[in-house]
Amino acid sequence: MSADKVVEVSRILGALSRELDALERAAGEIPAVERNVVRMRGTLRALEIQFEDLAAMQEGGG
C-alpha cells in the first residue's frame, strides 16, 4: 500500500470519527445511540492506531 493510501485511509477514519460525534449530538441522550457509539468508537480506534501515526509521519508530523 502506498504512503498516499495511508494518508487517505487515515483521513477517512477521521471523518468517520466526526460523523460519530455528530450522531451522538443528534441523538441527544438516547442510550441506544450513546452505547452503540461507544462500541463503534472502539472498532474505529482499532483502525486509527494502525494508520493515524503513519499518516502524521508521512505528512511531516514527526
Partner 1 sequence: MERSPTEYWNPVLETLDQERLQALQLRKLRRVVSWVYERSPLYRRKYQAAGLEPGDIRTWDDVARIPLLTKDDYRCQGVDPFPYGETLCVPLDEVTEFHQTSGTTGTPVYQPDTWADWEWWSECWAAILWAQGFRSTDRVFIPFGYNIFVAYWAGHYACEKIGCEVVPGGVLGTRERLMKMRELRVNAFMATPTYVLGMAETARTEIGADPREWGIQKILCAGEPGALVPSTKKRMEEAWGCPVYDHVGATEVGAWSFECRHQPGGLHVNEAMFLVELLALDADTPVTEPGVPGRIVITSFDRQAQPCVRFDTKDVSMWAEGACGCGRTWRILDRGVHGRVDHITKVKGVLFSPVTVEEVVRSFDELDGEFEIVVEKRGDLDHISLKVEMPRDMGEEGRRDLLQRLASALRWKTQLNFDIQPVEHGTLPRYQVKARRFHDRRKSG
Question: Please, what is the minimum distance in Å from the beta carbon of residue 24 to partner 1?
Answer: 15
Q: Under the rule (CB under 8 A), what is the footprint of partner 1?
A: 1, 6, 38-39, 41-43, 45-46, 49-51, 53-54, 56-57, 62
Start-end of H helices in 1-62: 3-27, 31-58
Question: Please, what is the minimum distance in Å from the beta carbon of residue 12 to partner 1?
Answer: 15
Nearer to partner 1, 18 or 39 (CB): 39
CA–CA distance, 54 with 34 (Å, rounded to integer): 30
